[in-house]
Structure formats: C-alpha cells, structure tokens
Amino acid sequence: MISVKIHETADVQSESIGPGTKIWQSVVVLPGARIGADVNICAHCFVENDVVIGDRVTVKSGVYLWDGVRLDNDVFVGPNVTFTNDKFPRSKAYPDSFLLTHVEEGASVGGGAVLLPGVTIGRGAMVGAGAVVTKSVPPYAIVYGSPARITGYVETTTLAGAVKDVAIRTPEDSREGVVKVGVGGVTLHRLKSVQDMRGDLSVGEFPKDIPFEPKRYFLVFNVPSEKTRGEHAHYKCHQFLICVKGSCAVVADDGESRCEVLLDSPDKGIYLPPLTWGIQYKYSSDAVLLVFTSHLYDAEDYIRNYAEFVEIAQSKAQQ
C-alpha cells in the first residue's frame, strides 16, 4: 500500500488521510480534516477541522482551507487562493455554523482568486487568476475579473467530452438548412430570408422549419451583457431559439458533449429537444431573444441542478 508522505516540518494532526497523499513543508492540518488519496498539499498551507478534500486534489502554496470548505475529486487550487466562510466576521464572534464553500469535481481556481463564503464552483469550471467570486459559478464556465463574470466555457474536459464551436452553414452547405451539431438531437437551422429595397423578411413554418407545434413563446431582452440565463433543462418541453435582434451565445449540453453557437441573425435558429441543458449568455446590449416552446409553462418540467441533469440524461441514454 502506498504510504502518506508528510514533511518533517509539517504539523499533521488528522488521521483521515488517503494513500499516496503528500503534505509538504510547514503545512498545518487539524484533527477533523478529511483528505483523500493522491492529494498534493504544497508548502505553507493550513487545513482547518471541518474541511473535506477528495482524491487527486492539488493545493498549491499559501492556501488556507477554513471550516466549511469542500474540494471534490481532481480539483486544482492555485497559489494564494483565499477562501472565506463568514459574511460578517467580527473578532471573537463566531456564527452558529460556517457557510459551505464547494468546489466541484475537476474545477480549477487560479492563483490569487478570492472566493466569498457560500459559493459553489461548478464541476469543470475555470476561475481565472485574481478573480473575486461573489456568486456561484456554473459547471464548465470560465470566469475572471472583480466581480467574476462568465467569459466563456471550457473547450475540453475529461468529465463531459469536448466543447465544439459550431459555425452555422448556409442552405447550400446542408440540405434544407439544418445542421446537426453532435450534441444529442440539437440542430441549427437557417430559416428563409428575403431582402429587397422595402426591407428584410425572415419566415419559418411549423412544423416544417421549426420541428414542433408551439404552445407558448417568450422574449428575453434588456439583459445586462454579463448576465447568464437559462442554466436548466426540460423533461418534456422542446424549445426553438431565434435572436431576432442583436446577438447572444447559446450553449447546448446533452450530459456528454457540448457546443456553443452564436445567434446573430434573425434567420438563424437553434432547436433544443428535451433533456438538453441550455445556457444563454454574451448578450449584446440590443439583443432580443425569441423562444418558442412546445408546452405551456410547468415548473415541474424544469431540471435546474446540473448534476441531477447528467444523472437523468445518462440513465435515459442507457434505456
């Protein structure tokens, strides 16, 4: 069995440490901490009691993990990352319980980032160096800045396949202007467009061009450019999205692979079938997003937790 390697200058009081873990110079680990296998904790770190670290985690130098910090498997924490666990700290005044800060599987936090208490960094996400994270970060999102804002989604991950930047093709490139993007049943559509001196016109027919009979539509507009919308899937509802003015980016995810598409013309649309995780972001200041849906609004039809969505999607794929 691979033994734990603890440097002679480290003060390690916990007995809950997995095999193959290495703890380097001047690290302090309190008795209640739980540390997994093959973890690497670099010099001059501190691990408090109510801390749980998964397997194959890397914690670089100068990181203090306070009560309430949870690091899942394969997490990377860069040097001098600052975790916090109390929104209103006072000297010698302690809350009844500390807020949990959760970094999910495969996520990375860049050097010098600051994480406010109670946030969750979603699986596979990337927090840029020096970012100040004031709100939870969605799975696979790339964030940086102060306050941290979403600037993209990771291109590759061992957890959910590769993200593909898909450019929609013209009708001449694909029959009837429909392109499969390799993410479940998601398709991109080039709708009919006519231009003349009187103005431009784009038209689609149901269900010939848009593959379902709609029961409802809604418009999304006046969205601040840094905001992200969507971040959910549906059990039964089909959706078709058209950015009728301005532009916005749509991320479609089937639980195994993902694609990002820019909707920047009223004759472009994207079809999201049920059990597709959808995200919309990078809204231009004048963007107006039109969404057709196959069902009336039903709160019970929404899946809002990504981990739950992946489990449901994979179970469905195995049936």
- Interval 186-195: pLDDT, tens: 999 988 888 8
Q: Which residues, in sequence order, are bridge partners of residue 174?
A: none
The residues, ordered by sequence, that sit 6+ positions from 121 with a Cβ below 8 Å of its Cβ are 102, 103, 104, 107, 109, 115, 127, 133, 136, 137
Q: Write down the pLDDT at residue 164.
A: 52
Of residues 1 and 75, more confidence is placed in 75
Burial readout 182-201 (b: 16 or more C-beta within 10 A, e: otherwise): ebbbbbbbbbeeeeeeeeee
- Nearest one of 136, 110, 135, 111 to 122, comparing CA atoms: 136
Least confident of 86-100, 144-158, 203-217, 266-280: 144-158
| pLDDT score, position 51 | 98
In angstroms, what CA-CA distances link 185 with 171, 223, 237, 281, 317?
19, 28, 13, 21, 12
Question: What's the rounded mean pLDDT across residues 125-133?
Answer: 97
Stretch 96-100: mean pLDDT, rounded?
Answer: 91
Instruction: Choose, from 232, 234, 238, 295, the residue flagged as catalytic.
Output: 232
Residues in the chain: 319
Higher pLDDT, 65 or 192: 65
Residue 232 annotated in active site: yes
310/157 Cα distance (integer angstroms): 15
For residue 154 the two structure tokens come to 């990771």
Under DSSP, is residue 201 helix (H, G, I), strand (E, B) or coil?
A: strand
The dihedral region occupied by 317, where left means phi > 0, alpha psi between -120 and 50, and beta the remainder, is alpha
Look over the chain and give the mean of its residue pLDDT values, rounded to a whole number.
90
Closest C-alpha among 249, 240, 274 to residue 167: 249
**What's the angle, vertex CA 154, arms to CA 149 and CA 155, rounded to 5?**
145
CB 310 within 8 A of CB 289: no
Which pLDDT score, from 0 to 100, does residue 195 have? 82
Q: Within the chain, how many helices (H) and strands (E) appear?
A: 1, 36
Tokens of 146: 């102060």
Answer for the pair 42, 60: CB distance below 8 angstroms, yes or no. Answer: yes
* Contact call for residues 309 and 276 (beta carbons, < 8 A): no
Could you tell me which of 125, 157, 122, 160 has the C-alpha nearest to residue 144?
125
Structural element, H or E, at residue 152: strand 149-153
Task: Select from 37, 40, 33 the least CA-distant residue to 14.
Answer: 33
